[in-house]
Amino acid sequence: MVWGLFHLSPHRFRWVLMLLASYAFYMCWNTFYIVLIIASTLIDYCVGHAIAKTQVTWKRRSLLALSLLANLGLLFVFKYWNFFNTSAAELCNACHLPWAVPNLNVLLPVGISFYTFQTLSYTIDVYRNELKPEPHLGRFALYVSFFPQLVAGPIERASRFLPQLQKPSKTNDSNNIQAVVQILWGLFKKVVIADRLAIYVSAVYGHAGEHNGITYWLATYAFALQIYCDFSGYSDIAIGAAKLFGIDLMKNFRSPYFAANLQDFWRRWHISLSNWLRDYLYISLGGSRKGEFRTAISLMVTMLLGGLWHGASWNFVIWGASHGIALWLLRATTNYRRSVLERIQLPKILTTSLGILATFHFVCLTWVFFRAETLADASLIITGMFTHFGKPFIDAAVFANAAIGIALLLLVEINKWDSSDVSGWLKSYPRTTAWATSYLLLIGIVLFGAESGAQFIYFQF
């Protein structure tokens, strides 16, 4: 209905329709929490204009601090208060000290991590004089709350998104069919692969300590595919839905499991968050400009906070720290590894393949902390992977139903038709090919999709 009204509306009023639809979409989940989005919008809109009106350094810094405090303060209260409060209570209890601060009984606002980072990027860009403040409050509000990517990204930059609202929408039959294919491809990955594999993963990870090493490895490989298809599937749906309204969202994945090293992985996985952490945190901390020790600290802080961004638990802290340490070791041993490879002179295809294999398995091992329900469960699973073997538990029905989806996914990945190209490659073919592709994807969803779909994993972040 929104899409139909969008095309019936004059261009100058379309932002109104999309803003109302975005607010209505979010209020379907929790009516009251729309206040948080509106508060972030008004704060950063006013702060952005106030920063642009002064060149006095201390005023600009104070205004930026206000934006950071307000947005990150809300994020801390709703997402992190209970984690830090509980950790402090446990520490005080271990030291036999009193601690009587209560936890908060509040519901985590869906998508708060995404829209908080999105609106902060606007304020920081204005502060850095890389962006002029948006004069139109309504269009800025739409940037913060645009419904296709509101709850799980991609985390868009104002410099990419806002100019698109000024131009007539690029909507025609060709774009619309490409958008439909993109949406169906994302839905296919979600319900045929991710939701199917989730059944097996939950059966194993939900009963840590009751399985053997081979089962843990199978479940971890399955989770690697599950989380990729779940999250990239949502991104495809968001990108396709935005395309229906003439908005091009950024690419969020680019065949991450074919990365040759961990640095390459983070250039391919959740690209919008990786770029955000690089541009607004890692570089701000000094990046690689101030010596190796400072670089190591910057990497560790960035990845630790990146881990915490995903969730308020020690599992995510360890997950982020593991990637931070590995990234630093890769950087510190660059010259040594290069000299070794020059001496042994292995074929490039072999070294690349070994790099892909090593990176994939490191990522899979760290996924254990991401998926396990507790730190104790993660420890049991990782220990069991290397010490306890036997006949594996295999859910034949799950793997049989997911197999066709995995085969198609591999075909797409090997041919480098990444998230944004699955629909784009159809441009060179007749329109009937695009329609046929969409019908085949729809048939695959109906025939092989899981009967009961699970919530998108990244909705909890």
Catalytic residue selected from 211, 270, 310, 323: 310
Token pair listed for 27: 């209020």
Q: How many residues does the chain have?
A: 461
Helix (H, G, I), strand (E, B) or coil at 445: helix
Helix (H, G, I), strand (E, B) or coil at 38: helix
Q: Which residues contact residue 98 at a Cβ distance below 8 angstroms, ignoring those fewer than 6 apart? A: 92
Residue type, 395: D
| Distance in angstroms (rounded) separating the CA atoms of residues 25 and 97 | 46
- Active site annotation includes 310: yes
Handedness of CA 230, 241, 266, 370 (dihedral sign): negative
Q: Which of 227, 224, 242 is nearest to 182 (CA)?
A: 242
CB of 280 closer than 8 Å to CB of 120: yes
Q: Which residues contact residue 46 at a Cβ distance below 8 angstroms, ignoring those fewer than 6 apart? A: none
345 alpha-carbon distance from chain centroid: 38
Q: Which of 308, 302, 324, 266 is nearest to 461 (CA)?
A: 308
Q: Which residues contact residue 190 at a Cβ distance below 8 angstroms, ignoring those fewer than 6 apart? A: 229, 230, 233, 234, 237, 453, 456
| Distance in angstroms (rounded) separating the CA atoms of residues 375 and 260 | 29
Q: Which long-range contacts (CB under 8 A, 24 or more apart) does 72-79 make?
A: 72/116, 72/120, 74/36, 74/39, 74/40, 74/112, 74/116, 75/112, 75/113, 75/116, 77/104, 77/106, 78/36, 78/106, 78/108, 78/109, 78/112, 79/108, 79/112, 79/113, 79/312
CB of 123 closer than 8 Å to CB of 44: yes
Q: How far is CA 340 from CA 129, 326, 345, in A?
A: 45, 19, 8
| Distance in angstroms (rounded) separating the CA atoms of residues 403 and 51 | 54
| Distance in angstroms (rounded) separating the CA atoms of residues 243 and 176 | 7
| Distance in angstroms (rounded) separating the CA atoms of residues 278 and 284 | 9
CB of 178 closer than 8 Å to CB of 243: yes
Q: Residues with catalytic annotation?
A: 310
